[in-house]
Amino acid sequence: MNPEIKQRGSLELTLRRLLSDRAGLVSMVFIIALVVAAVGADGIAALTGHSATAQFLATGLTPTGLPVPPSGEFLFGTDQLGRDVLVRLAHGARISLAIGVVASLLAAIIGVTVGLVAGYFGGWIDVVLGRLMDLVMSIPVLLCMLSLVAVFGPSMTLSLIVIVFFSWTTMGRVIRGQVLSLREREFVLASRSMGAGHLSIMFTDILPNLGAPIIIYTTMMVPTSIIFEATLSFLGLGIVPPAPSWGGMLAEAANNSIYMFAWWLVLFPGLALLFTTLSFNILGDALRDALDPASMRNKVQKKKKQSAGAAS
C-alpha cells in the first residue's frame, strides 16, 4: 500500500527548515529568554528586593567603598554606587530591545516605502530618492548626534530618531533593487494591462513578493540598532542616567578605574551585548535560509566543494 502523500504549505515548510537549523534554534531560544527577562524586569527586581536605581551602601559596597563581587545576595555583583548589576541588566535589556525593535520597524517602513516608490516609478523619482539615500549615508553620525544633543539634550526619543534616520537607507536600497526586477514580471504586466492603478500594483502585486527580504533585513537591523543605542549611551549621548542601559553601564565602568579589578562591571554588560547581537544575526541567517531555500542549497554545495577540495 502506497503511503499517503500529504501536501505541505509554504509556511509549514518554512517552519520545518527554520526548526532544523540548530544554530538558529539556539539563537531563537536565547532571544525569547532575553525578551522574558526584559518583560519581567520588575519581577526580577521584586524577587531580589533590589530596584534598578536603589543604592545599597551598607551591603552593596565594601567598607572601603568598592563594589561587591557576585555573591548570594547580588548574583552579578554591584556597581560603584552599590546598585544591583543583575537588575540593571534586566532593565537595560528592556530599553535595548524596545529601541532595537521599534527603530528597526520604523526604519523598515521608511525604507520599504522609499525603495518601493523609487524602484517602481524609476526615472527622475528614482534619481532623487537615490541621491537622498546617498546624502543620508554620507552624514557623519556622531557629529550629527553631538549637534542635536547640544540643542535638545540627550534622551531616548532623540536616540530613537537618530537610529531610524541613519538605518532606513539599507532597506531602501535592497527593496529598490528587488522592485526593479519585479516590476517587469508577467503578473505586474498583466495587472497593468487590466487597468490596475499604480497603488494597486505596488501594494497588491509587488509588496507581497517582498515579504522575505523585508523580514530578513528587519531582523538583521535589530542588533545594529541595539549596538547603535549602546554606542550613543556609552558616549553619553543616549539614555540619561540613572536609567540603566547596557552602553551606559559600560561607560560608567570605563570612566572609573575600579573596572580594572571589578571585572563583572564590564563582563556581564559586554556579554549581554555580544550574545544579543550574535543571536539576532544568526537568526537572520536562519530566516534567510528558511525563506529562500536556494541560498541553503548554495551553502550546501559550497561546503561539499570545500570538503572535496580538502580531501583531495
Q: Which CATH superfamily is domain 27-38+89-293 in?
A: MetI-like (1.10.3720.10)
Task: Say how many C-beta atoms besides its own lie within 10 A of residue 90's C-beta.
Answer: 26
Q: Is 83 helix (H, G, I), strand (E, B) or coil?
A: coil
Cell output for 56 = 545599597
- Write the CB contacts of 256 (distance below 8 Å, at least 6 apart in sequence): 80
Nearest partner of 215 among 121, 289, 133, judged by Cα: 289
CA angle 171, 176, 179 (to 5 degrees): 125
Residue 267, classified by CB atoms within 10 Å of its CB into exposed (0-12), middle (13-18) or buried (19+), is: middle
* 102 neighbors 160 (Cβ within 8 angstroms): yes
Output the pLDDT for position 306.
Answer: 54
pTM > 0.85: yes or no: no
Say how far apart CA 262 and CA 269 lie, in whole Å.
Answer: 13
Q: What is the pLDDT along the chain (312 residues), one digit of tens a residue?
A: 455 555 565 667 777 777 788 888 899 999 999 999 999 988 988 888 888 888 888 888 888 878 888 888 888 888 888 889 999 999 989 888 888 889 999 999 999 999 999 998 888 999 999 999 999 988 888 788 888 888 887 888 888 888 899 889 989 999 999 998 888 888 888 888 888 888 888 888 888 888 888 888 888 888 888 888 888 887 777 777 778 888 888 888 877 766 567 888 888 888 999 999 999 888 888 888 877 765 555 555 555 555 555 555
Q: How many CA atoms, within 13 angstroms, populate the side-chain half-sphere of residue 13?
A: 9
247 by DSSP, 3-state: which? helix
